[in-house]
Amino acid sequence: MDIKALVAQMTLEEKAGLCSGADFWHTKAVERLGIPATMVSDGPHGLRKQDQAADHLGVNDSIEAVCFPAACATAASFDRDLLRRMGEAIGDSCQHEQLSVVLGPAVNIKRSPLCGRNFEYFSEDPYLTGEAAASFIEGVQSRNVGTSIKHFAANNQEHRRMSSSSDVDERTLREIYFPGFETPVKRAKPWTVMCSYNRINGVYASENRWLLTDVLRNEWGFDGYVMSDWGAVSNRPAGVAAGLDLEMPSSNGVNDKKIVEAVKAGKLAEADVDLACERILNIVYRYVENAKPDTPWDMEAQHALAADIAAECMVLLKNEDAILPLSKADSIAFIGEFAQKPRFQGGGSSHIHCFKTTSALEAAKGLNIIYAQGYDVAADAATDDMIAEAVAAAKAAKVAVVFAGLPDAYESEGYDRSHMRMPECQVKLIEAVAEANPNTVVVLHNGSPVEMPWLDKVKGVLEAYLGGQAVGIALVKVLFGDVNPCGHLPESFPIKLEDNPSYLYYSGEPRGTEYREGVFVGYRYYDKKKMDVLFPFGHGLSYTSFEYSNLRLSADCIRDTDALTVTVTVKNTGSRAGKAVAQLYVGDVEGDVIRPVRELKGYEKVELQAGEAKDVTFTLDKRAFAYWNTTLHDWHVETGDFTIEVGASSRDLPVCARVRVESTVKVPVHYDADSVFMDIMKDPKAVEAIRPLIDAMNATFRHEYDQDSAAKEAITDDMNDAMMNYMPLRGVLSFGGLPGEVLEEILRKLNG
């Protein structure tokens, strides 16, 4: 298909029309030229295809589909292959349902536990986010179905999401909020990108040329089309000029007319409209020419796959006295309505109409299970009778398992949480059950961290996150030991909300929100502050144990253009098979730039039989050591030593080594009269240029010191050195007795 020739045949009105949807879910057809319409559908953990009049948030029923675990859960798997397999399954579903693009994955960083949409996002860490998203996209697009990575960019809250400005400095954008998009765009080549509702530093994402063209296309090489989030367009002609190709949903012709008027008035280049049409049609025909509507969709098989995936994602947070796994021979109490009606997905545009669900109570049929409802989700209450029934069940059982977490109303698209607490009725239930039976385990169904005032009163905690429609099968397999838990937290669990680095400024003010914590998001903040947390980033226990040893580096010193190979031995020191997640963190030991103590730069999941050991290898490139330099407007490595730490979490890193990295890029420096001696003296060449100033200043200090006996007592050598270090060059005019001409000549030499 010659797309350029096709666009050349279109009228301006047809081209403008192609740049917006036909309705909520379809691109426009141009029947005169045989251009077909294609359909997109919400995702990303299943299909929410609506065949009836659409409403975006799912009040109207969508087709029956399979709900896989949400991103909050799949990120906890730390498993690229798992995400790829899930993507393949969703891609097959899309082909069967004749969908050209699935709207996902969502890769915004979890800046705060309060974000109502955190259940759709992967992690607080940009590296983990980028790796997970790339794997998912590769899986979906291997089926010749597109993805729409979203929401670009800095969409980290639901409060005022359609108008608020995310005010973020350049370095923080590049290091924290962009990599989750950059890595998948470069590696997995998503067919489309969805821009966010919000403004970035005052400019709407939908009309931000720097964002959509300079960064996304010119720097990262994106070659698909950019679509708006539903209703995210403010100024449509400005959006076309900025690089927003497709407006969704339809504006009923209003914005199409504005595009035509802007072109005719000379305010918008028709070439920009042509380019938007070409990008849209490239993707339309990429799907149409590879459509396979006869692709089978075996929902039962996908239900089983969803269960397998969910089991790989569950995080064992606490396991005192090896309370888990449970014995199938024992009497076990399942307490809590979530045991019978699990919360397994979030609310809003990603809500799936499941063809079936399996609860833990149903999956445990045939075992010796005593059930008590414990609380009423709809009423958000636990009556005295419910508590009494739960206590009786707990007393009658060997182990009591309380299924708890957050109801749908607590976290959803469209609004943020106001606190990090669980429902009071559930806290009351957990405490009552734990008092009745010391062998109590809590299973959590939630999309983001919760406070746990009851933690010391229970022996076990299993984080299930939002595990999809087959979560009950997965839970029973993990609880009873058929599956060894191997998930690790993709986010820190703070002790209380106030500990979170964004706490003071998170929701912002009517105009916008300031990202004052900068690069110190999540564990980067907690580790820098040496703060206690409830559970650290990367934490996850197993029914076996692992040992890390024999850390080897391919070199002790490298240039920033070289690759470093890191190898570590991981051994299963327990009595049963299990999977370890080896996490590699890099830290800058001596740089001048304020940086986190450590940052995740690699991870590998490895399966080991009891007693088995394997070597795990990582390859680190320049980006593993670099920070974003706002002078260069590029990634830069400071010459110096870096730590390489490997272990099971950000706070369990038993092996460590150091490597020296030599920078091959010199940051340009311009000296002026306000430059201080301490900074200039770091450059050996500059030291020679300012030698006359140093001598003059030292002579002055020595003279004053020798002439004044009081000065000998009041001014120490350390004080003299400090005064010299912090002195600006202009100080020589007052303290060194040198004429201004000498200073001007020295500045010419410094900057020559």
Q: What's residue 583's pLDDT?
A: 98
Q: Based on the number of CB atoms within 10 Å of its own CB, is 560 exposed (0-12), middle (13-18) or buried (19 or more)? A: buried
Task: Tell me the pairing of strands 627-629 and 634-636.
Answer: antiparallel
The arithmetic mean of pLDDT across residues 222-235, rounded, is 96
CATH number, span 3-68+77-288 = 3.20.20.300
pLDDT at 52 over 70: no
SS3 per residue for 285-299: HHHHCCCCCCCCCCH
Two tokens, residue 743: 């200073």
Summarised one tens digit per residue, pLDDT across range 137-166 is 999 999 999 999 999 999 999 888 888 999
Q: Based on the number of CB atoms within 10 Å of its own CB, is 739 exposed (0-12), middle (13-18) or buried (19 or more)? A: exposed
Lowest mean pLDDT among 7-21, 36-50, 470-484: 36-50
Candidates 167, 229, 245, 499; catalytic one: 229
Q: For this structure, is 2 an active site residue? A: no
**Which residues neighbour 713 within 8 Å (Cβ) at sequence distance 6 or greater?**
none
Q: Based on the number of CB atoms within 10 Å of its own CB, is 378 exposed (0-12), middle (13-18) or buried (19 or more)? A: exposed
Q: How far is CA 491 from CA 26, 207, 299, 670, in A?
A: 36, 32, 31, 41
| Cβ count within 10 A of residue 104 | 28
The arithmetic mean of pLDDT across residues 42-50, rounded, is 89
User: Dihedrals φ, ψ of 406, to 5°?
Assistant: -110, 130
Q: Based on the number of CB atoms within 10 Å of its own CB, is 680 exposed (0-12), middle (13-18) or buried (19 or more)? A: buried
Percent of the chain at pLDDT > 90 equals 82
pLDDT at 53 over 60: no
Where do the domains of the chain lie? 3-68+77-288, 304-525, 546-662, 677-751
The arithmetic mean of pLDDT across residues 543-559, rounded, is 98
Q: Outline where 437-522 has alpha helix (H).
A: 471-479
- What one-character DSSP code corresponds to residue 734? I
Two tokens, residue 716: 């120490």
Q: How confident is the model at residue 591 (pLDDT cuts 50, 70, 90)?
A: confident
| Cβ count within 10 A of residue 304 | 13
pLDDT at 51 over 70: no
Q: Which of 254, 310, 253, 246 is nearest to 279 (CA)?
A: 246
CA distance 319 to 620: 34
**Which residues neighbour 678 within 8 Å (Cβ) at sequence distance 6 or greater?**
725, 726
User: Dihedrals φ, ψ of 31, to 5°?
Assistant: -60, -35
Name residue, tokens 């309705």. 23
pLDDT at 666 over 90: no
The arithmetic mean of pLDDT across residues 280-298, rounded, is 97
The answer to whether residues 417 and 159 touch, using CB atoms and an 8 Å cutoff, is no
SS3 per residue for 420-446: CCCCHHHHHHHHHHHHHCCCEEEEEEC
CA distance 99 to 102: 7
**Which residues neighbour 568 within 8 Å (Cβ) at sequence distance 6 or greater?**
548, 549, 550, 551, 552, 582, 615, 616, 646, 655
CATH number, span 546-662 = 2.60.40.10
Q: 304-525 sits in which CATH class?
A: alpha beta
SS3 per residue for 165-193: EEECCHHHHHHHHCHHHHHHHHHCCCCEE
The answer to whether residues 325 and 479 touch, using CB atoms and an 8 Å cutoff, is yes
